[in-house]
Amino acid sequence: MKNGCIVCNMGHSNTEIDVASLRTPELTWERVRSQVDHVIWPDGKRIVLLAEGRLLNLSCSTVPTFVLSITATTQALALIELYNAPEGRYKQDVYLLPKKMDEYVASLHLPTFDAHLTELSDEQAKYLGLNKNGPFKPNYYRYGNL
């Protein structure tokens, strides 16, 4: 795993993450706040472990505001699209969100992680078969519904 990755259990039981193997004398556990621990290796590499590896939806009592923000932003932009669309563009049906919309919502939330996007080089875009300005997922990849 990459240094700093966030590890959480969204599975079906509390045995999906082998937490016992992380409780060794070589590894340091640092409580960041309730339900959030850093597990630190001797070389400084760390992971962020949520809810001590237990089922996240049962261990954490509330939905994080970050998740609510992403959801609400996506829904608001989808509603704006529906409101502004010419009559007849959308029937009563399920529509895929444009990838650019979902990527825009994600980009709005990057500062939360002190992160930023870099631009693909011409060579990278050509290799990936993508436009340098996105969308950055292939056509078969689906983010969500509108």
DSSP assignment string, the chain = --TT-EE-B-SSSTTSS-GGGG-STTSEEEEEETTEEEEE-TTS-EEEEEGGGSBHHHHSSS--HHHHHHHHHHHHHHHHHHHHSPTTS--SS--BPPHHHHHHHHHHHGGGGT--PPPPPHHHHHHHT--TTS--S-TT----B-
Give the type of residue at 63: V
What are the structure tokens assigned to 69, written together?
Answer: 């923000």
Ramachandran region of residue 29, left (φ > 0), alpha (ψ -120 to 50) or beta?
Answer: beta
- pLDDT class of 14 with cuts at 50, 70, 90: confident
Give pLDDT, residue 123: 94
* Cross-strand bridge partners of residue 30: 38
In the predicted structure, residue 142 carries a pLDDT above the cut 70: no
Give pLDDT, residue 146: 45
- pLDDT class of 47 with cuts at 50, 70, 90: very high
> In the predicted model, what is the mean pLDDT of the chain?
86
Give pLDDT, residue 87: 92
Give pLDDT, residue 54: 87
In the predicted structure, residue 144 carries a pLDDT above the cut 60: no
- pLDDT class of 23 with cuts at 50, 70, 90: very high
Annotated domain spans of the chain:
6-59, 65-128
